[in-house]
């Protein structure tokens, strides 16, 4: 008589043995495959130019672009260009609008945006004290709506995102700044709006290509820079040339943005659009940490520049003068007035909140 229980057990063992072999074979096959094959035979190609030179770009944008290209998995590839490589920085806006380049990372003022709020891009005097002030005002004080509205009136340009960079300090090659009088006649490379404000103290803003700044300071064409904070000055080599650093910051952080040619943007799938915006957020986070940590560490431990400060009464005068500058700039347009109003409300809330906000 045949034992049916033994037959069932035998069949079950055979099934499990075969299943195990199949599973092992499948795993083995997948393990020896190439990491992945590009998903698209004709990937979308973008050209993006940043305001920054290559040494700085290694932190403010390169990690983002590398991450995006990897995550896009062959569907899209962004070619990154640094300052002035394709077009001069002050022509970035027009080049993007015309489709010569697909996207831009810059502040509004430096790239010549033809909008009334361009004056607030870059360093607007005393609009911020800390880097988190920028995204907070865009999220809670309506600046995101203002920027979207302004660029919504411009043909073929889409504003995507704005966040913070570093504070604005004055670094000089030979002249030590210990009073406002020492600013008179100093020729410095800097961003437009902060430079316009500091001109009232005799500072002379000078524009040269980013890659020429170092040589211009060595030859005496420039006396220094008012373009960045300590982290950037050390990273790009300017701290090797400048002997003095003024600790008084004209403003706490730079307003930097991402823009895209609208036709190029609309050609992307919703997935790729969202992926690019996520990579922008990743870049915003990277910069917050890199700049914030570097500013403190290099002020305390950096040995390349001697630190100086303005007398308290003189600096108080600069802060007071900025209030009049705000009102002047608010008069440019109703939308500019809305931005200045947001600055004032935010400052008032932060002052009332106290530590750790102010």
> pLDDT digits over 69-80, tens only?
999 999 999 999
The last residue of a domain, from among 243, 277, 294: 294
Which residue range(s) make up the domain with 153?
A: 45-164+254-294
CA dist., res. 107 & res. 185, Å (int): 26
Q: Domain for residue 13, yes or no?
A: no
Statement: residue 347 has pLDDT above 50? yes
Statement: residue 86 has pLDDT above 70? yes
Q: Of 9-18, 142-151, 178-187, where does mean pLDDT reach its minimum?
A: 9-18
Statement to judge: residues 201 and 313 lie in one domain? yes
**Mean pLDDT of all residues in the chain?**
91
Statement to judge: residues 214 and 347 lie in one domain? yes
* pLDDT value at residue 136: 98
* pLDDT value at residue 191: 82
The last residue of a domain, from among 294, 318, 345: 294
* pLDDT value at residue 3: 52
* pLDDT value at residue 39: 52
Q: Domain for residue 5, yes or no?
A: no
Statement: residue 1 has pLDDT above 60? no
Q: Domain for residue 342, yes or no?
A: yes
* pLDDT value at residue 20: 44
More confident residue, 6 or 86: 86
Categorize the per-residue pLDDT at 42 as very low, low, confident or very high, splitting at 50, 70 and 90: confident
Q: Over range 133-138, report the average pLDDT.
A: 98
Statement: residue 127 has pLDDT above 60? yes
* pLDDT value at residue 2: 47
Beta bridge partners of 207: none
* pLDDT value at residue 323: 94
Statement: residue 194 has pLDDT above 60? yes
Q: Over range 307-330, report the average pLDDT.
A: 97
Categorize the per-residue pLDDT at 109 as very low, low, confident or very high, splitting at 50, 70 and 90: very high
Statement: residue 18 has pLDDT above 70? no
* pLDDT value at residue 229: 97
Q: Over range 24-37, report the average pLDDT.
A: 39
More confident residue, 36 or 266: 266
Statement: residue 246 has pLDDT above 60? yes
Statement to judge: residues 332 and 231 lie in one domain? yes
* pLDDT value at residue 119: 95
The total of structural domains in the chain comes to 2
Statement to judge: residues 236 and 331 lie in one domain? yes
Statement to judge: residues 339 and 230 lie in one domain? yes
Statement: residue 10 has pLDDT above 80? no
Categorize the per-residue pLDDT at 41 as very low, low, confident or very high, splitting at 50, 70 and 90: confident
Identify the CATH number of the domain in which residue 54 sits: 3.40.190.170
3-class SS at 105?
strand
Statement to judge: residues 258 and 221 lie in one domain? no
Statement to judge: residues 135 and 282 lie in one domain? yes
Q: Over range 134-145, report the average pLDDT.
A: 98
Cα-only R_g, the chain: 27
Statement to judge: residues 156 and 174 lie in one domain? no
Strands (E), the chain: 44-50, 76-81, 103-106, 157-164, 168-172, 187-190, 204-206, 224-228, 244-251, 255-261, 306-308
Q: Over range 243-272, report the average pLDDT.
A: 97
More confident residue, 279 or 12: 279
pTM of the model: 0.87
Statement: residue 17 has pLDDT above 90? no
- 342-348's contacts with Cβ under 8 Å and 24+ in sequence apart are 342/137, 342/141, 342/142, 342/143, 342/146, 343/124, 343/127, 343/137, 345/141, 346/133, 346/136, 346/137, 346/141
Q: Of 5-19, 53-67, 227-241, where does mean pLDDT reach its minimum?
A: 5-19
- 166 and 288 Cβ atoms separated by less than 8 Å: no
């Amino acid at each position: 008589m045949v034992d049916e229980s033994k037959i069932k057990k035998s069949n079950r063992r055979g099934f499990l043995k075969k299943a195990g072999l199949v599973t092992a074979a499948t795993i083995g096959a997948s393990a020896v495959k190439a990491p992945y094959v590009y998903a698209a035979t004709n990937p979308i190609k973008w050209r993006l130019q940043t305001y920054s030179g290559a040494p700085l770009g290694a932190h403010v944008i390169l990690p983002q672009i590398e991450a995006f290209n990897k995550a896009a998995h062959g569907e899209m590839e962004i070619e990154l260009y640094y300052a002035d490589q394709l077009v001069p920085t002050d022509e970035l806006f027009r080049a993007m609008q015309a489709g010569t380049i697909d996207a831009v990372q810059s502040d509004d003022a430096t790239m010549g945006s033809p909008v009334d709020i361009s004056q607030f891009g870059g360093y607007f005097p005393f609009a911020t004290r800390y880097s988190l002030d920028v995204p907070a005002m865009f999220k809670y004080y309506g600046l995101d709506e203002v920027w979207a509205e302004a660029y919504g009136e411009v043909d073929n340009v889409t504003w995507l995102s704005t966040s913070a960079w570093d504070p604005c300090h004055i670094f000089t090659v030979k002249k030590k700044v210990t009073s406002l009088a020492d600013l008179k006649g100093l020729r410095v490379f800097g961003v437009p709006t902060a430079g316009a404000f500091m001109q009232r103290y005799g500072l002379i803003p000078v524009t040269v290509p980013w890659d020429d700044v170092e040589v211009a300071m060595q030859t005496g064409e420039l006396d220094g820079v008012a373009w960045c904070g300590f982290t950037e000055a050390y990273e790009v080599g300017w701290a090797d040339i400048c002997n003095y650093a003024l600790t008084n910051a004209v403003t706490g952080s730079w307003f930097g943005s991402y823009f895209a040619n609208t036709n190029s943007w609309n050609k992307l799938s919703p997935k790729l659009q969202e992926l690019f915006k996520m990579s922008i957020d990743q870049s915003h986070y990277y910069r917050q940490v890199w700049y914030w940590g570097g500013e403190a560490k290099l002020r305390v431990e950096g040995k390349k520049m001697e630190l100086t400060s303005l007398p308290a009464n003189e600096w108080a005068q600069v802060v007071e003068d900025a209030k009049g500058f705000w009102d002047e700039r608010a008069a440019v347009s109703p939308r500019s007035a809305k931005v200045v109003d947001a600055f004032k409300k935010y400052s008032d809330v932060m002052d009332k909140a106290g530590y750790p906000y102010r």
